[in-house]
Amino acid sequence: MTSLADLRVIDAATLFAGPSAAMMLGDFGADVIKIEHPRRGDPSRGHGASVDGVGLWWKTLSRNKRAAAIDLSRAEGQRILRSLAERSDVLIENFRPGTLERWDLAPEDLLELNPRLIVARMTGFGQFGPMASRPGFGTLAEAMSGFASMTGQPDGPPTLPPLALADGIAGLAMSYAIMVALHDRERTGRGQVIDMAIIEPILGLLGPQMTAYKALGVVAQRTGNRSSSNAPRNTYRTRDGRWLAISTSAQPIAERVVTLVGRPDLVEQPWFGSGRGRVQHVDELDEAVASWIAERDADEVIARFEEAQAAVAPIYDVTDIAKDPQYAALDTFIEVPDEELGAVTMQNVMFRLSDTPGEVRWPGRRLGHDTDEVLGELDYAPEEIAGLREDGVIA
């Protein structure tokens, strides 16, 4: 039995942040029911690469979820959601604040139907405040959090990530918040409402920027691949044209690196004893490391670093990831049978539990694949289901 097999989760969110939280719960056995609009579907179906019109991002994001297509803007659709909420543990939604209330699905009303329900609300800016009603996406969080302003080359523009970074971070944070709320429910017997703004979780991963600003007036600047906390830390090109990344966050590692590249004299410098001191001499350190690496092929550099017990890694693209032996040993990627594409390769569950491991049971399904099954569990008769489909309430 997987860890969360006794939980039912309604995923009524769209795109990435909320659905990724639901995916993580589903990976460990939760019965996740993905609700989509019966005609439009979830927008993530159309994001990224596709095969014969079938979105590959969708296949991963909606794995382990039953797919039910229900129009929640219709009265009958709202009635279905209320019935589901009565029999579920968690509802994840990311409608603009006020939408559920307008549909007579306010959290307080759902909690009246099911006092043990966890209502997890994911929006760009939270449920209150001057920006609460604005549409919000992860890109805006990456901009407003300080991430973009401190990312990129010093003489270049602020840089956004080429992926849904803030959404992914918020999804991780929401899965954690849900588990906290479920744990608290064991103590109190009551559910509660989670209010998460996508602009907030990413702040925590950027370090104590507000703490440093308030205490010292520090405003983080763009440093390219360098770190403002330690040096040497950068990407370096080898003689055979490959790129390697080096980190020296720990003092002993920094000492091993400069000794390896022929500059043990630097260890004796009074400034070398702290990351902050090394950052002030980053040009000298980078020159020593870069020149040594540039004279050698990548395989030799990696072997020498490993011998010295110093931290180095090649800069990979996906072709390198696909053949890396460490990922292979960890079973990081698996091939999952799929009714539309035959099979899909995707990342495995994010971590390993010794007694109750997670599992990818199936990829994202066709629109409405499980609608009849879900409504049947709510005691809808076949003729009622057929009528709802004819009226466009479900698909």
Cβ–Cβ < 8 Å for 70, 39: no
Integer Cα distance of 147 and 203 in angstroms: 8
Question: Positive or negative CA dihedral for 313, 317, 321, 323?
Answer: negative
**What angle (nearest 5°) sits at the alpha carbon of residue 166, between those of residues 55 and 53?**
5
Tokens at 198, concatenated: 């996508």
Catalytic residue status for 89 = no
Alpha-carbon distances of 28 from 9, 84, 387, rounded to whole Å? 12, 21, 35
Measured distance CA(65)–CA(32) in Å, rounded: 5
Q: Which of 11, 27, 42, 167 is catalytic?
A: 167
In 3D, which of 368, 367, 382 has the Cα closest to residue 45?
367
Burial letters 260-283, b for 16+ CB under 10 A, else e: bbebeebeeeeebeebeebbeebe
Give the C-alpha separation, 304 to 131, whole Å.
Answer: 53
- DSSP assigned state of 394: B
How far is C-alpha 359 from the chain's CA centre? 18
Tokens 């596709």 belong to which residue?
50
Alpha-carbon gap, residue 193 to 127, rounded angstroms: 11
187-207 as b/e, with b when 16 or more CB fall inside 10 Å? eeeebbbbbbbbbbbbbeeee
The three-state secondary structure class of 345 is: strand
Are 368 and 67 in contact, with CB atoms under 8 Å apart? yes
Distance of alpha carbon 71 from alpha carbon 365, whole angstroms: 18
Strands (E), 292-341: 312-314, 333-338
The residues carrying an active-site annotation are: 167
